[in-house]
Amino acid sequence: MSWTRPGNWHVTLKFLGEVEAARLPEITQALRSVDFDPFALRLGGAGFFAQGGAPRTLWTGLAQGGEHCARLAGAVDQALEPCGLGLRTGAYRPHVTLGRVKQPCEGDDWREAAGLVSRELAGARFSPAQVGEMLLWRSVLGPQGPKYAAVEGYPARDHGGRSEEGTA
Protein backbone atom coordinates (compact mmCIF):
# COMPACT_ATOMS: atom_id res chain seq x y z
CA MET A 1 0.00 0.00 0.00
CA SER A 2 1.26 3.44 -0.92
CA TRP A 3 -0.33 5.96 1.45
CA THR A 4 -1.55 9.37 0.30
CA ARG A 5 0.00 12.25 2.21
CA PRO A 6 -2.69 14.08 4.22
CA GLY A 7 -1.56 17.36 2.61
CA ASN A 8 -2.68 15.90 -0.73
CA TRP A 9 -6.14 14.83 0.44
CA HIS A 10 -8.95 16.32 -1.61
CA VAL A 11 -12.39 15.54 -2.97
CA THR A 12 -12.35 15.49 -6.78
CA LEU A 13 -15.42 17.02 -8.37
CA LYS A 14 -14.31 16.33 -11.95
CA PHE A 15 -11.05 14.92 -13.31
CA LEU A 16 -10.09 16.73 -16.50
CA GLY A 17 -6.98 14.77 -17.47
CA GLU A 18 -4.51 16.29 -19.92
CA VAL A 19 -5.71 19.72 -21.03
CA GLU A 20 -3.92 21.98 -23.49
CA ALA A 21 -2.69 25.21 -21.86
CA ALA A 22 -4.51 27.25 -24.54
CA ARG A 23 -7.85 25.93 -23.20
CA LEU A 24 -7.22 27.07 -19.64
CA PRO A 25 -8.90 30.53 -20.00
CA GLU A 26 -12.08 28.91 -21.34
CA ILE A 27 -12.12 26.40 -18.48
CA THR A 28 -11.46 28.95 -15.74
CA GLN A 29 -14.16 31.24 -17.14
CA ALA A 30 -16.67 28.37 -17.20
CA LEU A 31 -15.88 27.43 -13.60
CA ARG A 32 -16.45 31.03 -12.47
CA SER A 33 -20.12 30.54 -13.31
CA VAL A 34 -20.56 27.71 -10.77
CA ASP A 35 -22.63 28.99 -7.86
CA PHE A 36 -22.69 27.17 -4.52
CA ASP A 37 -23.28 27.92 -0.86
CA PRO A 38 -20.65 27.08 1.76
CA PHE A 39 -21.23 23.68 3.37
CA ALA A 40 -19.68 21.33 5.90
CA LEU A 41 -18.13 17.97 5.18
CA ARG A 42 -16.79 15.24 7.40
CA LEU A 43 -14.95 12.07 6.49
CA GLY A 44 -16.54 8.71 7.25
CA GLY A 45 -16.89 5.19 5.93
CA ALA A 46 -14.36 3.44 3.72
CA GLY A 47 -14.03 1.08 0.82
CA PHE A 48 -11.93 0.03 -2.12
CA PHE A 49 -12.14 0.75 -5.82
CA ALA A 50 -11.13 -2.26 -7.87
CA GLN A 51 -9.56 -2.50 -11.29
CA GLY A 52 -9.71 -5.78 -13.15
CA GLY A 53 -11.21 -7.41 -10.06
CA ALA A 54 -8.26 -6.45 -7.84
CA PRO A 55 -8.46 -3.72 -5.18
CA ARG A 56 -6.45 -0.66 -6.25
CA THR A 57 -7.59 2.32 -4.18
CA LEU A 58 -8.47 2.59 -0.49
CA TRP A 59 -10.80 5.53 0.10
CA THR A 60 -12.88 7.19 2.76
CA GLY A 61 -16.25 8.60 1.91
CA LEU A 62 -18.10 11.51 3.41
CA ALA A 63 -20.28 11.08 6.49
CA GLN A 64 -21.43 14.67 5.97
CA GLY A 65 -21.49 16.85 2.84
CA GLY A 66 -21.75 14.08 0.25
CA GLU A 67 -25.00 15.39 -1.24
CA HIS A 68 -23.55 18.90 -1.46
CA CYS A 69 -20.46 17.57 -3.23
CA ALA A 70 -22.65 15.61 -5.66
CA ARG A 71 -24.67 18.73 -6.52
CA LEU A 72 -21.47 20.76 -6.90
CA ALA A 73 -19.94 18.06 -9.13
CA GLY A 74 -23.08 18.17 -11.28
CA ALA A 75 -22.84 21.97 -11.56
CA VAL A 76 -19.17 21.66 -12.57
CA ASP A 77 -20.12 19.07 -15.20
CA GLN A 78 -22.79 21.39 -16.60
CA ALA A 79 -20.43 24.39 -16.65
CA LEU A 80 -17.67 22.46 -18.45
CA GLU A 81 -19.88 20.60 -20.93
CA PRO A 82 -19.86 23.51 -23.46
CA CYS A 83 -16.04 23.36 -23.28
CA GLY A 84 -16.23 19.84 -24.70
CA LEU A 85 -15.27 18.23 -21.41
CA GLY A 86 -18.27 15.90 -21.42
CA LEU A 87 -20.73 14.97 -18.75
CA ARG A 88 -19.96 12.26 -16.21
CA THR A 89 -21.05 8.83 -17.42
CA GLY A 90 -21.11 6.99 -14.10
CA ALA A 91 -22.40 7.77 -10.63
CA TYR A 92 -20.44 10.37 -8.68
CA ARG A 93 -18.96 9.01 -5.44
CA PRO A 94 -17.32 11.75 -3.35
CA HIS A 95 -14.30 10.37 -1.55
CA VAL A 96 -10.77 11.04 -0.39
CA THR A 97 -8.09 8.62 -1.57
CA LEU A 98 -6.16 7.30 1.44
CA GLY A 99 -3.86 4.86 -0.35
CA ARG A 100 -3.17 2.90 -3.49
CA VAL A 101 -2.59 -0.84 -3.51
CA LYS A 102 0.71 -1.49 -5.26
CA GLN A 103 0.37 -5.25 -5.51
CA PRO A 104 -2.59 -7.13 -3.99
CA CYS A 105 -1.60 -10.41 -2.41
CA GLU A 106 -3.65 -13.57 -2.60
CA GLY A 107 -5.61 -14.07 0.60
CA ASP A 108 -5.75 -10.38 1.54
CA ASP A 109 -9.12 -9.63 3.15
CA TRP A 110 -9.95 -6.24 1.64
CA ARG A 111 -13.49 -6.20 3.01
CA GLU A 112 -12.12 -6.60 6.52
CA ALA A 113 -9.52 -3.89 5.85
CA ALA A 114 -12.23 -1.50 4.63
CA GLY A 115 -14.33 -2.35 7.71
CA LEU A 116 -11.38 -1.63 10.00
CA VAL A 117 -10.78 1.73 8.33
CA SER A 118 -14.52 2.54 8.59
CA ARG A 119 -14.52 1.72 12.31
CA GLU A 120 -11.44 3.86 12.90
CA LEU A 121 -12.96 6.80 11.01
CA ALA A 122 -16.29 6.46 12.84
CA GLY A 123 -14.75 7.98 15.98
CA ALA A 124 -14.60 11.69 16.68
CA ARG A 125 -11.21 11.92 15.02
CA PHE A 126 -12.47 14.01 12.09
CA SER A 127 -14.48 17.12 12.85
CA PRO A 128 -16.58 18.72 10.13
CA ALA A 129 -14.67 21.11 7.88
CA GLN A 130 -16.28 24.12 6.25
CA VAL A 131 -16.07 24.19 2.46
CA GLY A 132 -15.87 27.77 1.30
CA GLU A 133 -13.97 27.41 -1.94
CA MET A 134 -13.60 25.10 -4.92
CA LEU A 135 -10.15 24.89 -6.52
CA LEU A 136 -8.92 24.02 -9.98
CA TRP A 137 -5.72 22.02 -9.47
CA ARG A 138 -2.85 21.15 -11.74
CA SER A 139 -1.17 17.89 -10.85
CA VAL A 140 2.23 16.70 -11.97
CA LEU A 141 3.12 13.07 -11.36
CA GLY A 142 6.60 12.37 -10.07
CA PRO A 143 8.55 9.57 -8.37
CA GLN A 144 7.48 10.82 -4.91
CA GLY A 145 3.82 10.97 -5.95
CA PRO A 146 1.74 13.79 -7.40
CA LYS A 147 2.52 17.44 -6.77
CA TYR A 148 -0.47 19.76 -6.80
CA ALA A 149 -0.60 23.46 -7.58
CA ALA A 150 -3.77 25.56 -7.39
CA VAL A 151 -4.57 27.23 -10.72
CA GLU A 152 -7.56 29.28 -9.55
CA GLY A 153 -10.00 29.36 -6.64
CA TYR A 154 -13.77 29.79 -6.88
CA PRO A 155 -15.37 31.01 -3.63
CA ALA A 156 -18.72 29.83 -2.37
CA ARG A 157 -21.38 32.51 -2.33
CA ASP A 158 -23.39 32.59 0.86
CA HIS A 159 -26.98 33.26 -0.17
CA GLY A 160 -28.13 33.47 3.44
CA GLY A 161 -29.43 29.90 3.62
CA ARG A 162 -28.11 27.41 6.11
CA SER A 163 -26.91 24.04 4.98
CA GLU A 164 -29.39 21.29 5.79
CA GLU A 165 -26.41 19.27 7.00
CA GLY A 166 -25.28 22.04 9.38
CA THR A 167 -22.11 24.06 9.53
CA ALA A 168 -18.83 23.56 11.27
pLDDT bin (cut points 50, 70, 90) of residue 133 is: very high
Q: What is the pLDDT of residues 143-167, one digit of tens each?
A: 877 788 899 999 999 876 544 444 4
User: Are 93 and 66 within 8 A, CB to CB?
Assistant: no
User: Which pLDDT score is estimated for 165?
Assistant: 44
What is the tens place of the pLDDT at every residue in 56-92?
A: 888 888 989 999 999 999 999 999 999 999 788 888 9
Distance CA 100, CA 91 (A): 21
pLDDT digits (tens, 9 = 90+) for 1-33: 888 888 888 999 999 988 999 999 999 999 999
pLDDT of residue 123: 58
Where do the domains of the chain lie?
Answer: 2-155
Contact 98, 47 (CB under 8 A): no
- pLDDT at position 164: 44
Give the pLDDT of residue 167: 41
Class in CATH terms, 2-155: alpha beta
CB atoms within 10 A of CB 96: 18
pTM over 0.85: no
Among 42-51, 67-76, 88-97, the minimum mean pLDDT is found in: 42-51
Concatenating the DSSP letter of every residue in 116-130 gives HHHHHHTSTTS--EE
Question: Rounded mean pLDDT of 37-44?
Answer: 92
